[in-house]
Structure 1
Amino acid sequence: MNEPKATILLIDDDATYLSVLQRRLRQASEFEVITCQSLTAALALPAQPLHGILLDMMLDNESGLAGITALKQHFTPRHLIMLTGYASIATTVEAMRRGATDYLAKPVGLNELLQRLQQGEVTPAPATPMTPAQVEWEHIQRVLLEHDGNISNTAKALGIHRRTLQRKLQKYAPVR
């Protein structure tokens, strides 16, 4: 008798991204893949043990970070991987503190995702010094996290104008 397929839950507010990732995961693996565009929709699903959850950090009107605890309690996933286009040390630490098992910056390759889901082993990257732009980005992200994502309060704490902060945040994180 065949064992049931391991199930992965994808949570992202981008419908196109969800559709493409769902199709690619189904083609490249034996996973059953369920998608939701919000934490609310995901938590409305029946409670069931999942192999993994791929959770976007910035959803339309919700923070993926805020949903980690509830998702872990509801689904007891083996893996909860945070995906974000705005990676920072501060949000990585916060995601792990809340119970994420991994944290990946978008775009992420399908092979890397599958490796993380199937093995769960994280190979640490070699330590390299940060550039001044990276240090600034990390500081902004830490202060933003301390102010619960409030742009005005973060700008005030950083001593810069709100529009300047918004421009800095619209840029991608500096690469190593």
Structure 2
Amino acid sequence: MTTPILIIDDDPTFNAILVRTLSRRGHPAIGAENGEDALRLASQHQAGRVVLDLNLNGVSGLSLIPQLLAINPHARIVVLTGYGSIATAVEAVKRGATQYLAKPVEIEAILGAFEDDALPDSPATPDEPLSMDRLEWEHIQRVLNEHAGNISATARALKMHRRTLQRKLGKHPVRA
């Protein structure tokens, strides 16, 4: 019997839909909406495949990667995010994630990311340099990651008012 795919996402609707869709396609899945439940289920089921949301109720999902790998060093972890950035993608892979995908994502892309021959996409060299807005977004994401998702500490490091930072983070990433 195969172990279920562990879905870790704080959005209960998205979590339930992903669990149901995977199960209907012959891939048993279980869901967790927070880190504590995720680690308990990962240990209980020796999860070998994990779909991890980058933002779990304001806490970085990246912090779970080493803990999940401590439970099962061979686990393949796919990080999903609605606000992708190069900085967080690099950090996810450094911590041991197999793949980093931006939402919305097709179920085939998630399943494909678990394949043995699936390698993280290398960023394509852009034809034109990144816009100033995109560079700012990337810098904010890098500093936010350095401060473990702490908005106040990030705002201080950026010498920016906390509300201004929250407003910038509430927007979708700007296009290159």
Is this a same-fold pair by TM over 0.5?
yes
Percent of pairs identical after alignment?
43
Measure, in 2, the Cα distance between the counterparts of 1:85 and 1:159. 26
The residue type paired with residue 105 of structure 1 is A
Q: Which residue is equivalent to 1:132?
A: 132
2:77 matched to 1:80?
A: yes
CA RMSD of aligned residues (A): 1.9
Q: Which residue is equivalent to 2:18?
A: 21
Q: Which residue is equivalent to 2:48?
A: 51
Q: Which residue is equivalent to 1:42?
A: 38
2:156 matched to 1:160?
A: no
**Contact 1:12 1:56 (8 Å CA) reproduced:** yes
Deviation at 1:5, TM superposition (A): 3.1
**Contact 2:155 2:165 (8 Å CA) reproduced:** yes
Structure 1 pair 150/50, CA: closer, same or farther in 2 (3 Å)? closer
**Contact 2:59 2:149 (8 Å CA) reproduced:** no
2:37 matched to 1:10?
A: no
Deviations 1:11-40 (A, max 9, x none): 111110011111111223x21111111111
Where does structure 1 lack aligned partners over 5 or more consecutive residues? none
- 5 Å matches for 1:74-153? 74-122=71-119, 123-128=121-126, 129-153=129-153
Measure, in 1, the Cα distance between the counterparts of 2:78 and 2:27. 15
Moved more, 105-114 or 9-18: 105-114
Question: Could you tell me which of 29, 54, 61 is aligned with 1:33?
Answer: 29
When normalised by structure 1's length, the TM-score is 0.87
Measure, in 1, the Cα distance between the counterparts of 2:24 and 2:131. 39
The 3-state SS of whatever aligns with 1:118 is coil
How many aligned positions are there? 172
Structure 1 pair 120/58, CA: closer, same or farther in 2 (3 Å)? farther
Moved more, 148-157 or 7-16: 148-157
**Contact 2:3 2:46 (8 Å CA) reproduced:** no
Deviations 1:103-154 (A, max 9, x none): 1111111121121123551343532132222111000111112222222232
Deviation at 1:157, TM superposition (A): 2.2
Deviation at 1:47, TM superposition (A): 4.1
Deviation at 1:41, TM superposition (A): 0.7
Q: Which residue is equivalent to 2:62?
A: 65
When normalised by structure 2's length, the TM-score is 0.87
